[in-house]
């Protein structure tokens, strides 16, 4: 298994070998105006109330802070707040919606793995309505809402309030300007000791470059704006991508479209395969070019007259509110420089990012990152010097390059998420991620690869499900009693 050791400190080292200490020290020898020393009474801004923002708010609150959570939407949940079909004039752009969920979406991870470490996402838990292992998206929203209520997080959130600017002040504090939805003014500026960015990264579409597409007469849409298959009735649709979304959406659209053709850039040039179980679904190599007469040509020279090209080609990291003084830039989807994907060394710990890694189990990772940030801000955990953090980042990049990974895979954790999780856990004095969760993740990956059409309904890791449910019991009993007392269980 490929595990890049992250430079000078190495993710695999134990807490005692790295930088934690019971005696708070200066976080780094910055030549800039000294940032405020971590203390237990910081004024903190969290941007976003999705799963990452909720995790951050809980951990910061547990450290005795009262963070202010800014949320553009009218409710918590972020990605999991489904928004109905977008009537966007820009079907390739992010338009007005944040969430990229389509109506038929069921989770692609088993629910037992998905939940926060001490708040099981178990079938039958308080508020649960869909007991399936891979439930509908509404079930995830219900779970996040229950989490927010259980930990009293709603009172921390300023809803329908967008952060428009985050600017560094003298003394290392941050001026945060926010604006109420519909407010045409310049917004309200407040000063915070630290800012935790949790704005998500599945909203700004990445589009495939297709030679000739500007003269091609069909319609293009990004999966961000896809909701239901009905608008594609009797059409010929080309779907670009090989991700979970491309797979699911191609099957969804095949229920109404005349033909669906998937263009996969990793497929050999001569690929043209009818997909088993479907009369109207094919797999091809990548698109070579699009023509004025409506044809789309694949790499093997074959062509199809198509009505729609759907880009299931992923998303871009975007922090439109950050100025140059954040010291962070985004280049080819590398958010740079970040120590362990969280802290920009120059301004750590007063600026941090929760939730950048992908190909992970997101919620537990958000939780552990949040614990680490909260511990550092409280002065219980100490970061290495600025130079050491920068050295670590550079060494990590060198390892990625040596292994031939492109820049855009900087935050792709497919092979080492658990080493990272366990490193974070060690920083916080938290036990490592449970063994059953790690094994279940691996089982699911294997099952999904072998049975992509049916992995959500057939599996062979019931022994792990039993282990997880046994493990959950201690939490379930406590949370059910607490939620009943709060009158949240019917």
Ligand X SMILES: Cc1cc2nc3c(=O)[nH]c(=O)nc-3n(C[C@H](O)[C@H](O)[C@H](O)COP(=O)(O)OP(=O)(O)OC[C@H]3O[C@@H](n4cnc5c(N)ncnc54)[C@H](O)[C@@H]3O)c2cc1C
> Which positions lie near ligand X, rule CB under 6 A?
47-53, 70-73, 78-80, 98, 100-101, 107-109, 114, 162-163, 198-200, 202, 245, 321, 355, 362
**Cα separation, 430 vs 433, whole angstroms:** 9
If 0-12 CB within 10 Å is exposed, 13-18 middle and 19+ buried, where does residue 96 land?
exposed
Closest CA to 144 of 169, 167, 126: 126
Give the DSSP H or E segment for 115.
Answer: none
What is the torsion angle, in degrees rounded to the nearest 10, for the CA atoms of residue 69, residue 433, residue 481 and residue 130? 80
Q: How far apart are CA 42 and CA 163, in angstroms?
A: 19
Q: From the CB of 106, what's the least distance to ligand X, in Å? A: 8
CA–CA distance, 163 with 165 (Å, rounded to integer): 6
Q: Which of 118, 87, 113, 82 is nearest to 98 (CA)?
A: 82
Comparison of 79 and 352: residue with beta carbon closer to ligand X: 79
Element (H, E) at 473: helix 462-485
* Residue whose CB is less far from ligand X, 105 or 377: 105
Question: Counting beta carbons within 10 angstroms of the beta carbon of residue 141, is it exposed (0 to 12), middle (13 to 18) or buried (19 or more)?
Answer: buried
Tell me the C-alpha distance between 364 and 437, whole Å.
10
Q: Least Å distance between CB 32 and ligand X?
A: 25
**DSSP, residue by residue, 211-231:** TTGGG--SEEEEGGG---SGG
Read off φ and ψ for residue 185, nearest 5 degrees.
-75, -170
Min dist. Cβ of residue 133 to ligand X (A): 11
Nearest to 78 by CA among 322, 366, 352: 366
Residue 443, CB-side half-sphere exposure with 13 Å CA sphere? 18
Cβ atoms within 10 Å of 277's Cβ, excluding its own: 10
Give the nearer residue to ligand X in terms of CB position, either 65 or 72: 72
Cβ-based nearer residue to ligand X, 144 or 257: 144
Report the nearest approach of ligand X to the CB of residue 30 (Å).
27
What is the rounded CA–CA span in Å between residue 204 and residue 284?
26
Q: Could you tell me the smallest distance in angstroms from the CB atom of residue 389 to ligand X?
A: 23
Cβ contact 412:314 at 8 Å: no
Residue with token string 């792990």: 464
For the bound state, the minimum distance from the C-beta of residue 108 to ligand X, rounded and expressed in Å, comes to: 4
Least distance in angstroms from the C-beta of 253 to ligand X: 15
User: CB 98 → ligand X: shortest distance, Å?
Assistant: 4
Q: Whole-number minimum distance, CB 262 to ligand X, in Å?
A: 17
Nearest distance in Å: CB 182, ligand X: 14
**Residue 6 vs 245, nearer CB to ligand X:** 245
Min dist CB 156 to ligand X, Å, is 13
User: Shortest CA distance to 381 belongs to which of 349, 420, 344?
Assistant: 349
Between 218 and 357, name the residue whose CB sits nearer to ligand X: 357
Give the three-state DSSP class for 91.
coil
């Amino acid at each position: 298994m490929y595990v890049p050791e992250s430079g000078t400190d190495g993710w695999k080292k134990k807490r005692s070998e790295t930088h934690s200490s019971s005696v708070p020290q200066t976080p780094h020898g910055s030549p800039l105006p000294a940032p405020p020393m971590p203390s237990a009474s910081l004024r903190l801004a969290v941007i976003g109330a999705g799963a990452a923002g909720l995790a951050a708010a809980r951990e910061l609150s547990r450290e005795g802070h009262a963070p202010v959570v800014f949320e553009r939407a009218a409710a918590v949940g972020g990605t999991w707040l489904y928004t109905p079909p977008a009537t966007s004039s820009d079907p390739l752009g992010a338009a007005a919606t944040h969430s990229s969920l389509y109506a038929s979406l069921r989770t692609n991870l088993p629910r037992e793995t998905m939940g926060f470490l001490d708040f099981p996402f178990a079938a039958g838990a308080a508020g649960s309505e869909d007991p399936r292992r891979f439930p509908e998206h509404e079930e995830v929203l219900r779970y996040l809402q229950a989490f927010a209520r259980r930990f009293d997080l709603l009172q921390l959130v300023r809803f329908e309030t967008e952060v428009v600017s985050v600017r560094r002040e003298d003394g290392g504090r941050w001026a945060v300007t926010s604006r109420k939805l519909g407010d045409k003014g310049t917004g309200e500026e407040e000063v915070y000791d630290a800012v935790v960015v949790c704005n998500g990264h599945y909203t700004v579409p990445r589009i495939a470059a297709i030679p000739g597409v500007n003269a091609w007469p069909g319609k293009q849409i990004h999966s961000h704006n896809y909701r239901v298959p009905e608008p594609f009735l009797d059409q010929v649709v080309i779907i670009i991508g090989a991700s979970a979304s491309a797979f699911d959406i191609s099957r969804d659209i095949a229920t109404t479209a005349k033909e669906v053709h998937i263009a996969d850039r990793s497929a050999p040039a001569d690929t043209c395969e009818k997909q088993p179980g479907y009369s109207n679904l094919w797999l091809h190599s990548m698109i070579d070019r699009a023509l004025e007469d409506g044809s789309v040509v694949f790499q093997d020279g074959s062509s199809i007259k198509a009505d729609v090209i759907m880009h299931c080609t992923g998303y871009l990291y975007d922090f439109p509110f950050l100025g140059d003084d954040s010291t962070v830039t985004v280049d080819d989807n590398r958010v740079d420089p970040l120590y362990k994907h969280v802290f920009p060394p120059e301004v750590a710990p007063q600026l941090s990012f929760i939730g950048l890694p992908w190909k992970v189990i997101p919620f537990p990772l958000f939780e552990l990152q949040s614990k680490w940030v909260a511990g550092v801000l409280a002065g219980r955990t100490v970061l290495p010097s600025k130079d050491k953090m920068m050295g670590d980042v550079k060494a990590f990049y060198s390892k990625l390059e040596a292994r031939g990974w492109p820049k855009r895979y900087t935050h792709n954790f497919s092979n080492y998420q658990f080493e990272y999780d366990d490193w974070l856990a060690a920083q916080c004095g938290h036990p490592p991620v449970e063994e059953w969760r790690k094994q279940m993740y691996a089982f699911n990956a294997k099952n999904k690869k072998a049975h992509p059409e049916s992995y959500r309904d057939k599996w062979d890791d019931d022994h792990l499900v039993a282990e997880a449910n046994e493990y959950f019991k201690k939490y379930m009993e406590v949370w059910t009693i607490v939620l009943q007392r709060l009158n949240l269980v019917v």
